[in-house]
């Protein structure tokens, strides 16, 4: 059976959302990030990214990871594309060119959007968005996001989804990265096609099922 390691409040949301979309049967192993625990190695502590049993799965101690009947894979974007290709039907690539485009857009989001978007998310989550430091951090991140988000705006003005006319694993990967910047409304309000695409993705039953489980986890 497929095992997905990682709590919902992590990058594991990407394969967990995709699994909901595909109706996959899987075992969820809720490995929490060690930095969220005061004493991750204390007796009785939850399984976390420093626990020996998880390091035996992923020596880097990062989530998510999967074990698909003995095939172990790390890194959320690669996991999503793998699951889509093996199980996904319409959510997976139809040919090698679509698989390449899935990787292109997923890596584009990870390298050009994720870091400044996470800065915005962390600033807001920390309640610092109205402080002078927080405003400055958000302003810098917004400037860094201008070009890549403009690229997405142009793309979604002409395409319903990342690969054109159908929802795929690439939309899951990109949407879960863009979500980090969603709390700063001007970024999406200024880009209506991007905003409409993200809202359409997040209106899907698969996203809602994943998000309900995420909200049920301790913050």
What backbone phi and psi angles, to 5 degrees, belong to 99? -65, -40
Question: 86 in helix, strand or coil?
Answer: helix
In a domain, 217, yes or no: no
**Model pTM?**
0.96
pLDDT mean for each 10 residues of the chain (219 residues): 97 98 97 96 95 98 98 97 94 96 98 98 96 97 98 98 97 98 97 98 98 95
Please tell me the predicted confidence (pLDDT) of residue 143: 98
* Residue 75 falls in which region: left (phi positive, over 0), alpha (psi -120 to 50) or beta: left
Closest CA to 186 of 138, 118, 119: 138
Is the residue at 197 inside a domain?
Answer: yes
Q: Which residues pair with 71 in a beta bridge?
A: 68
The CATH number that applies at residue 22 is: 3.40.30.10
Domain endpoint, select from 47, 66, 90: 90
Q: Within this chain, do residues 66 and 141 fall inside the same structural domain, yes or no? A: no
C-beta separation of 187 from 181 below 8 A = yes
Phi, psi (degrees; rounded to nearest 5) at 32? -95, 155
**What's the structural domain count of the chain?**
2
**CB contact at 8 A, 96 and 165:** no
Domain limits for position 200: 92-207
Do 175 and 109 contact (CB within 8 A), yes or no?
Answer: no
Are 79 and 172 members of one domain?
A: no
**Domain's final residue, options 74, 90, 106:** 90
Q: Which residue has the tokens 């863009």?
A: 178
Of 90, 115, 138, which one is at a domain's C-terminal end?
A: 90
Burial class (CB in 10 A: 0-12, 13-18, 19+), 80: buried
CA gap 2, 16 in Å, rounded: 11
Q: Alpha helix locations (H) across the chain?
A: 13-22, 52-55, 76-87, 96-112, 114-125, 132-158, 169-178, 185-189, 192-202, 205-216
Report pLDDT for 88. Answer: 85
The three-class DSSP label of residue 72 is strand
Q: How many CA atoms lie within 13 A of 32 on its CB side?
A: 15
76, 15: one domain: yes
Question: How far apart, in Å, are the Cα atoms of 54 and each of 39, 78, 176?
Answer: 16, 19, 24
Residue 144: its pLDDT value, please?
98
Whether residues 201 and 155 fall in one domain: yes
């Amino acid at each position: 059976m497929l095992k997905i390691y990682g709590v919902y409040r992590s990058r594991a949301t990407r394969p967990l959302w995709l699994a909901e979309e595909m109706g996959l049967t899987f075992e969820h192993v809720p490995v929490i990030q060690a930095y969220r625990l005061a004493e991750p190695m204390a007796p009785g502590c939850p399984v976390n990214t420093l626990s020996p049993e998880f390091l035996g799965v992923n020596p880097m101690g990062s989530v998510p990871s999967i074990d698909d009947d003995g095939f172990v894979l790390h890194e959320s974007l690669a996991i999503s594309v793998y699951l889509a290709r093996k199980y996904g039907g319409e959510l997976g690539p139809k040919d090698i060119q679509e698989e390449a485009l899935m990787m292109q857009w997923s890596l584009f989001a990870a390298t050009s959007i994720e870091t400044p978007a996470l800065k915005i998310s962390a600033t807001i989550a920390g309640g610092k968005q109205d402080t002078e430091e927080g405003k400055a951090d958000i302003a810098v991140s917004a400037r860094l996001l201008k070009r890549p988000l403009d690229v997405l705006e142009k793309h979604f003005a002409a395409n319903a989804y990342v690969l054109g006319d159908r929802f795929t694993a690439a939309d899951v990967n990109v949407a879960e990265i863009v979500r980090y910047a969603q709390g700063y409304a001007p970024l999406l309000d200024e880009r209506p096609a991007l905003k409409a695409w993200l809202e359409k993705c997040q209106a899907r039953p698969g996203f809602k099922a994943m998000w309900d489980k995420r909200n049920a986890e301790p913050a």
